[in-house]
Chains A and B, each alone.
Chain A
Amino acid sequence: GAVVSQHPSWVICKSGTSVKIECRSLDFQATTMFWYRQFPKQSLMLMATSNEGSKATYEQGVEKDKFLINHASLTLSTLTVTSAHPEDSSFYICSARLDRGHDTQYFGPGTRLTVL
């Protein structure tokens, strides 16, 4: 149980275009999902907390108009990177929090974004 999927697993796009990444909890409901970014050989940095039915909470330094988050259902959150630039190239990982017990986060497999 507690499986999280992401789509796509990798994407290459031109500078200036927008890219949408989906995060789904497959076998459980998640009121809260998280979006992280990971640069090579670095740790996961939390970008934002996504709450079903309400606005996302962004971490300091993350542009909310550039990284649009929508959490329309208890099993789906989306991250849209708008007007992507090469410096946005990174590994984007989502997680979903199990809404019971110890609050553990389960992670998706990640999406590798390359902006040319």
Chain B
Amino acid sequence: QKEVEQDPGPLSVPEGAIVSLNCTYSNSAFQYFMWYRQYSRKGPELLMYTYSSGNKEDGRFTAQVDKSSKYISLFIRDSQPSDSATYLCAMSVGPPGTYKYIFGTGTRLKVLA
């Protein structure tokens, strides 16, 4: 079993839809939870990071963490064609100052105009 599971998609939605992206994990030692967006042939771009269980909102994006269920989500409201990309969840593990990231496989999202 992988430490981080993420549905690779592709996920196709119409413009304006609410998108829900999810990751599950097995390692309870994970501390920080990140969402990155990656366009084709580009490096990942940080969207959100969270530490504790609960919701964190930033514009059209909401990150949700449920540590008891080992489940994280990213919601995108009013999705746009420009949101079409691969979304990667990442989780950090390790002693302070020496964290390293474990990535999910990424979910490919297509927002149709």
Give A residues with C-beta under 8 Å from B: 4, 6, 34, 41-46, 49, 91, 93, 97, 102-110, 112
Contacts and interface: CB of A to CB of B under 8 A. Distances in A.
Contacts of A93: 43-44
Contacts of A103: 32, 92, 96-97, 99
Interface of B: 6, 8, 32, 34, 36, 41-46, 49, 51, 88, 92, 96-106
Given A104-B34, A104-B49, A107-B36, 11 more contacts: A6-B43, A41-B8, A43-B6, A43-B88, A43-B106, A45-B103, A46-B101, A46-B102, A103-B92, A107-B43, A107-B44
Contacts of B44: 44, 93, 107
Contacts of B92: 103
A49 B32 CA distance: 18
Contacts of B101: 34, 44, 46, 105
Contact of B42 (A41, A44, A97, A110): A110
A43 B99 contact: no
A102 B92 CA distance: 10
B32 A43 contact: no
A106 B46 contact: yes
B41 A91 contact: yes
A103 B49 CA distance: 10
Contacts of B6: 43
A95 to B, nearest CB: 8
A45 B36 CA distance: 15
Contact of B41 (A44, A107, A108, A110): A110
